[in-house]
Amino acid sequence: MKEAKVTIDRDFSIAETDPRLFGAFVEHLGRCVYGGIYEPGHSTADERGFRRDVLELVRELAPTIIRYPGGNFVSGYNWEDGVGPVENRPRRLDLAWMSTEPNTFGTNEFMDWCRVAGVEPMMAVNLGTRGPDDARRLLEYCNFPSGTELSDLRRSHGWEKPHNVRFWCLGNEMDGPWQMETKTAWEYGRIAAEAAKLMKWIDPTIELAACGSSSRNMPTFGSWEDTVLDHSFDHVEYISLHTYLNNYADDTPAFLASPDLMDSFIEEVVAIADAVAARKRSPKRIMLSFDEWNVWYRTRRKNEGRVKLGWPVAPTILEEIYNMQDALAFGGACISLLNHADRIKSACLAQLVNAIAPIMTETGGPAWRQSIFYPFKDMSNLGRGTVLQTKVNSPTYETTYYDPRGTSELRFPLPAVPYLKLSVVHNHDEDCVTIFALNRSLDESLSIEALVRGFEGLAVKEAHQLRNDDLMAINTKDAPDTIKPSSLEGVEIWGEQVRAKLAPATWNVIRLEVQKQ
């Protein structure tokens, strides 16, 4: 059995988790909207067409903020198409996903859905085929109370009160050649700065995220962030990051190590943003919005999103079926986000329903949880509070992660991957300490001994694991509970010492409560 030692101290912390760290993403992509969150005529649909069974799972998952309407979709989206009487809305060809957009669900429907789901809306503006003036018009429509053409237009559509959207994304992946009207860093930086300026003249209380690189593997990564922030530094609060973990190489140890490269990506973007601040002699610090992250590779390799299928409405595309090993890599990404809570203040799991999502539905049928549902649920529900610094002494292994980009074969050597990946969060209100622990060993249990300083009278409140000996196991409509959490037995406490035995290839959560003296 492998052994790891961990030191935790109440007085040494990373940061408070921002509520927006636990976000997700709804895009007009495949069946995410139509047949996902919105399906009039479904047996569970409410009077607005919102699927109640999906809403129940969303509340269980507990995301806090939802990014909308894209994604690639937003770079060709005319927001005016999705407001006003539904019968008057145009049908458009969506070049992002080669489908037909009926526009029966739009901005106001999304705002209503967010209110029902109890989440904050995050809106993206089109800086692909449109520009700064269109962005400020959408902001005025959404946020201005009344007395202008656009605010009164919203009121005439039936939404008397403003939506008060506080967080806005300035476009999406504008460095990507797959994007409608791709731009250079200089072009995008100038447009983003101008859009930000106009939008904040209308509502100075909003927060804005500029597009960072679409991935760490983009040829322009680094120089893109530097140039974009050089233009927009004074106008934005965030720079975005996007990452999709993969197992193209069918190499499970490398796959489970891939969240460590996510750590590197975060730290590199922080360094670039701070270099811009230093160059500008500014005490301001740009925060990070990790507004797309997930495991995604099977349907991505098939290039499903770019296959012409006769321009259907809500095609069945990018419906990644997640197995047990995907859930483990995903859990590692959750830990990476928590451990960088000092700079990542917003993050969005992409996406929420059907398309690369934790929730699956059958159109006209049931909804169920995918394997990745559970680590996110744990992080979102139990990861709120102060992330504590940890010192982890764990045995390691060597591997090489494969991450292709176009015709390039990129390989990242990882010489010392700890078998134990771990994060610890102290919830002050409940006076609970939660340990999130991933055992990346495929064939050996991992004994952990944690010294938890500064907390007197600790007791185990709850401990569970996500485990299936078949790493290829999946949840389906007919077998929705093949992968689900089970009790983690044998957690022991002696004073400040916490001991546990983690089974091979498991995601584990240990909650410790401080007994009142």
What share of the chain has pLDDT > 90, as a percent?
95
Right CATH for 2-11+388-514 from 3.40.920.10, 1.10.3470.10, 2.60.40.1180, 1.10.540.10: 2.60.40.1180
322-352: pLDDT as tens digits: 999 999 999 999 999 999 999 999 999 999 9
Mean pLDDT score, 36-45:
98
Judged against a pLDDT cut of 70, whether residue 307 lies above it is answered with: no
pLDDT given at position 301 = 78
Q: Which residues pair with 465 in a beta bridge?
A: 486, 508
- Of the residues 27, 109, 292, 513, only one is catalytic, namely 292
CATH architecture assigned to 18-384? Alpha-Beta Barrel (3.20)
492 counts as catalytic: no
pLDDT given at position 406 = 62
Question: What strands, in cross-sheet order, belong to the sheet with 386-393?
Answer: 485-487, 458-466, 506-514, 432-439, 420-427, 386-393, 2-16, 446-453, 497-502, 492-494
Residue-range domain boundaries for the chain: 2-11+388-514, 18-384
Please provide the average confidence, as pLDDT, over all residues in the chain: 96
Closest CA to 210 of 218, 199, 163: 199
Dihedral (C-alpha) 392, 394, 399, 403: value to the nearest 10 degrees? -30
Rg (C-alpha) for the chain, rounded Å, is 23
Per the CB < 8 A criterion, the answer to whether 391 and 423 are in contact is no
Judged against a pLDDT cut of 60, whether residue 516 lies above it is answered with: yes
Written as one letter, the residue type at 301 is R
173-199: pLDDT as tens digits: 999 999 999 999 999 999 999 999 999
Closest CA to 385 of 336, 452, 431, 436: 431
pLDDT given at position 305 = 66
Mean pLDDT score, 234-248:
97
Per the CB < 8 A criterion, the answer to whether 68 and 110 are in contact is yes
- Of the residues 173, 194, 237, 320, only one is catalytic, namely 173
120 counts as catalytic: no
